[in-house]
Structure formats: C-alpha cells, structure tokens
Amino acid sequence: MKGKKRSKNGGGRAKGDIQSAQYHFVWTGNLATGNASLPMNASGLATVSTRFLAEADAWRDYRYTSCRYKIHPNGTRAAAQTAGWVPLSDTAPSTVAQIAELKASSVLAMSSTTPTPWASVPRSDLAGPFPWYKVIDGTPDTSEEIPARFQVSGGSTDPFTVEFVIGIQFKESLPPANTPMELEMLRGMRELRKQAALEEYKKRTVSALGLLSPSLPATTGLSSSRLQSQVGVTPGGL
C-alpha cells in the first residue's frame, strides 16, 4: 500500500511508512574557546531548521541518507577554520589539525573571501552504529538517538557560518497525540488482546472436541471409546 505525502515542508515523498526529505539550512554563530559543536540528532537539527522540526515531530525514527556542507567566510578571523562530521563513537576533535584529518572535512583559510567547495560525508559515516535513530530524546541509551555531531574549530571566538544540504529518511509515522513510548504501550496492549483471543479460541475448540473432560455429554450419542477409536486415540493415550 502506498503511503501519502505527509508534508511539503521537507519536500519529501513517502513510500509505505517511510518518507525521504531534503533540508537546506545554515548554521552560524561564534566559536567558544575555538570550537563549536552541533549534535546531529533531531533536537540539534531543530535548533537550525524549523522546517525539519515541523516534519520530524510526526515520525518515530530517522536516519541520514546524505550530507553536504561548506564553510562560508564570516567577518574577520584570527585563524583558519575547519569543519567536519564526527561519529559519536569517536573522541571529539578539538583543534584545526585534528578536524582536518577527518575523512570529510573542509578548511577555510584565514584570509579566504570565498566559501570552501562542497564536502560530502561518506555513507558509512552517516549510518553510524544503528540502522535507525529515535526522533524524540529520552531513550535509556542515547546512542540510539544520534549518529554523530558536526564540529567546527578555529580562532578563539571567531564567527563561523556553515551551509548544509542534508537528506533524511523518516520511518513509522505517529499520531500527533502519541509519543513513541505511548505507541509501544499501544502495540503491547494489542498483542496481549490477540494472545488472549487466541487462547480463548483454543479453549473453545478443545471443549467442542470433548477433550477437556474424560466423559462426553450424553447428547452427543457417542461413547468415549467409540470417539477415541474414530480419532485414532487408544485408552490411556491422552
């Protein structure tokens, strides 16, 4: 069954209960002691993209399918700036040289007046350790909510600007009133009802066959020995 396009905010299309969307936004600010970090989870992206926030609120899980970025010159800089995608399992780099060693990094020279070329994050880094991540924070293991963070390094309090084009997939749409925890509870309740109905059906079936009691109702017109011989059961075989 084909899914419906849920929103025009991200320009995405749904297939089944999965939607793909692309977001174009700018992250800007000032470095603190030479560094700035953007968590690449739903909460982090919501601080830089209201379009993402509006779309993500209706889904349970997300994952990255692509990420391109470049650094723009922003005012006077005391040093060169580097930026890159840092997998959550790695120790956070804290210097220009360390970030420059990442597989996908950009370097903006101190005197540059033009943006860096686009840099693309490898799909292996985008994926992280899990196939999907939780949109809403609060799971016992926070690694289930975030695959990476984006790091910028440069002069002490220099201004910075990074432009992003990011592809994201969402999975498992949620009714507006339901949080992921409530959704799991509803699924559990449905499963319990299914199991209870199955047990009740089994009891009725066994009762109809007369196997719950050693003696059969007189209205059947059959003796226990006759029924046993017809179904291939010998005395003492049950």
Residue 29: is its pLDDT beyond 60?
Answer: yes
Residue 59: is its pLDDT beyond 60?
Answer: yes
The structural architecture, per CATH, of the domain 13-174 is: Sandwich (2.60)
Question: What's the rounded mean pLDDT across residues 210-236?
Answer: 51
pLDDT tens profile 73-101: 998 899 999 999 998 866 788 899 999 98
pLDDT tens profile 120-136: 999 989 988 889 998 87
Please give the backbone phi and psi of residue 33, each rounded to the nearest 5 degrees, phi first: 50, 40
Q: What is residue 183's three-state secondary structure?
A: helix
Q: How confident is the model at residue 169 (pLDDT cuts 50, 70, 90)?
A: very high
Which has more pLDDT, 142 or 238?
A: 142
pLDDT of residue 1: 39
Domain ranges of the chain: 13-174, 182-230
In terms of Cβ atoms closer than 10 Å to its own Cβ (0-12, 13-18, 19+), residue 216 is middle
Residue 69: is its pLDDT beyond 80?
Answer: yes
3 state SS for 126-182:
HHCCCCCEECCCCCCCHHHCCCEEEEEECCCCCEEEEEEEEEEEEEEECCCCCCHHH
Residues above pLDDT 70, as percent of the chain: 71
pLDDT of residue 30: 96
b/e sequence 224-236, b meaning 16+ C-beta within 10 Å: eeeebeeeeeeee
Which has more pLDDT, 215 or 107?
A: 107
Distance separating alpha carbons of residues 168 and 25, to the nearest angstrom: 13
Closest CA to 162 of 63, 80, 82: 82
Instruction: For the chain, state the CA radius of gyration.
Output: 30
pLDDT of residue 176: 59
| Residue in the block written with tokens 């970090």 | 37
